[in-house]
Amino acid sequence: MKPLRALSLILFIVAAAPSYIHGRPIQSLAGDSVDVTPGSFCYKLGKDLPGEDSVKLDYPKSAILTNIRGELLFNVTVTNLNQSDMFHSPGKGSYNVPAITKAVIIYIPPEFGIDGGVAAVWTSFTNDYNPYSISLSKTQPNDPVAPGWWKLSVNNLTIVGQGLEAQASKRRFEANLTQYIRIFNVTSPSIAGRYFFKAFTAVYTSSGLEVFSIGAENFPTLVVKAGLNPAYISGVVRYGGRSHPSLYGMPLDARKHPDGTVLLPEGYGGKVYARGITSDGRIVEAQAYFNATAGGRYTLYGLEEGTYNITAQAAGYLPKTLAREVSVRRGQSLEGVDIYLEEALEVSGVIRSKHGLGEAPWGYTYNYTHPGLPRPKYVRLEVTDLDENVLLESPLILADPRPLLRMEPRDKLDPEASSYPFRLRWEHLWDGHIPQDYANYTSGIGSGDYYVKVHVLGYVQVEYPV
């Protein structure tokens, strides 16, 4: 039996400049569209972002109350555009095809309750409730698009161009005509805020099912409110750390400053959360998320009259609750509530491959079905609390070609090397609520006692005094 090699770990815990790890989006291509009701004003996620002026003006007219039971109706328009061809062969004159087989995928935030599973779904696309035809389930916690969300899929739809036969019983539908997906027995979120629904088109190809976003700016939204005459609170999440004094007060976003610093790298995001009590003693919660291109701006929609504690967090930064409570009246628009965040802890170090008395190259691994094809090894890093709950982790990323939604570890080892430097700071609280196609991290961790764990195929971790 081949002996296991040992891993040695040299660890540093510091607050330092960011390592630029960029989120990799699902491919976004024009074409198909999705709308949602209830609400007479169904704004898209990209409407006036990040200013949201029109949404702020009209949202009380289109919002629904927290904790009510009802239904969701999605209006879906599917085209005969071949998004796979658009992705792989850019620059062609036309991508319309006579017929194409697609699937429609809609992600619903986990705050919405759905009773009855797929039996609660009706659609004009099909009466076939075979799982290969229509499905409704919860995604895994590490899903690259919407971790822990509801995933609704309507599969094997043949979309035909104008003049060709369309027959619903054979699942053949004319392009550019609206179809409907209705979900019954839905309970609205208990947390107020502006929610959005992620929508994707999947194209059946010879290499597999390729998934394309309709574009995050086109995701339909719905505001959930805690009272009949709701207020909102808005402001900017700003840099309040000590590492870059000249940047104090700058919004947390992906712009590159003159000294080269990026306060919130592209793809990462943040969250603002409010919890308070109304005049009649009712507890009200609200939440808002922002991405790295929003300039740190947030808006907490749907607040009932009351007094609130407001907490902000962002990837690579420590959560902070405002020292003062914030009060709003019915229908009030309160702006300028800015929050300053400090850098979170960064865990960095070097992993070394040890064998006997010296170091040894990481080498290759071999697939069982292709034993002659060497592949590099990957490393997974975890920072856990003393109860071994994972707080920071080396993430999975989308592998090329991205539309196939295959995941691979981010940290690949050079087979000829015997060490691997690492940094973890941004990778806390994986979340799909960031206003973009894909999920990413939304917080950081503070000082404390932690374990650092390293996983590499064929190795065991050993500890040396440092």
Mean pLDDT of 320-343: 96
Residue 60 belongs to what H/E stretch? helix 53-62
Asked whether residue 296 falls in the same domain as residue 426, the answer is: no
Residue percentage of the chain with pLDDT more than 70? 88
Residues 40 and 163 in one domain: yes
Q: What is the pLDDT of residue 306?
A: 96
In a domain, 466, yes or no: no
397 with 456, same domain: the answer is yes
Select from 316, 341, 366 the last residue of a domain. 341
Whether 251 is covered by a domain: the verdict is yes
CA atoms lying within 13 Å on the CB side of residue 375: 13
Asked whether residue 327 falls in the same domain as residue 385, the answer is no
Pair 181, 94 in one domain: yes
The predicted-structure confidence for 35-85, as pLDDT tens digits, reads as follows 777 754 556 777 545 556 555 555 556 689 999 999 999 999 999 999 999
Contacts of 10 (CB under 8 A, 6+ apart): 349, 350, 352, 466
Q: Which of 290, 316, 341 is the last residue of a domain?
A: 341
In a domain, 442, yes or no: yes
Question: Which residue type is seen at 335?
Answer: E
Residue 42: CATH number of its domain: 2.60.40
* pLDDT for the residue 13: 37
User: By percentage, how much of the chain surpasses pLDDT 90?
Assistant: 67
Same domain, 321 and 353: no
Average pLDDT, the chain: 87
CA 361 to chain centre: 36
In a domain, 74, yes or no: yes
Across the range 400-415, mean pLDDT stands at: 86
Which domain, by its residues, includes 263? Answer: 231-341
209 within domain boundaries: yes
| Closest among 321, 306, 332 to 232, alpha carbons compared | 332
pLDDT in tens, 90-101: 888 888 899 999
Same structural domain, 267 and 378:
no
Please state, as a whole number, how many other Cβ atoms lie within 10 Å of the Cβ of residue 24: 18
For residues 144 and 38, which has the higher predicted lDDT (pLDDT)? 144
Residues in the chain, how many?
A: 466
Q: What is the mean pLDDT of residues 297-315?
A: 96
Q: How many CB atoms lie within 10 A of CB 245?
A: 7
The DSSP letter of residue 294 is T
Three-state DSSP class for residue 232: strand
Tell me the C-alpha distance between 210 and 355, whole Å. Answer: 43
Q: What is the pLDDT of residues 1-20, one digit of tens each?
A: 344 455 545 544 333 333 33
Pair 121, 190 in one domain: yes
The pLDDT value recorded for residue 2 is 44
* Single residue among 341, 373, 401 that ends a domain in this structure: 341
What CATH number has the domain bearing residue 253? Answer: 2.60.40.1120
Rg of the chain in Å (alpha carbons): 24
Domain co-membership, 216 together with 317: no
Residues 370 and 279 in one domain: no
The answer to the question of residue 205 being in a domain is: yes
Q: Quick one: 122 and 156 in the same domain?
A: yes
Structural domain count of the chain: 3
Cβ neighbours around 141 below 10 Å, total: 8
In a domain, 52, yes or no: yes
Residues with Cβ < 8 Å from 127, sequence gap 6 or more? none
* DSSP-derived secondary structure for 46-99: TTTTTT-HHHHHHHHHH-EETT-EEEEEEEEE---B-HHHHHHSTT-S--B-SE
Domain contains 16: yes
- If asked whether residues 147 and 277 sit together in one domain, one would say no
**Which residue has 């973890």 as its token pair?**
424
Distance CA 269, CA 391 (A): 17
Query: CA nearest 135: which of 109, 160, 108?
Result: 108
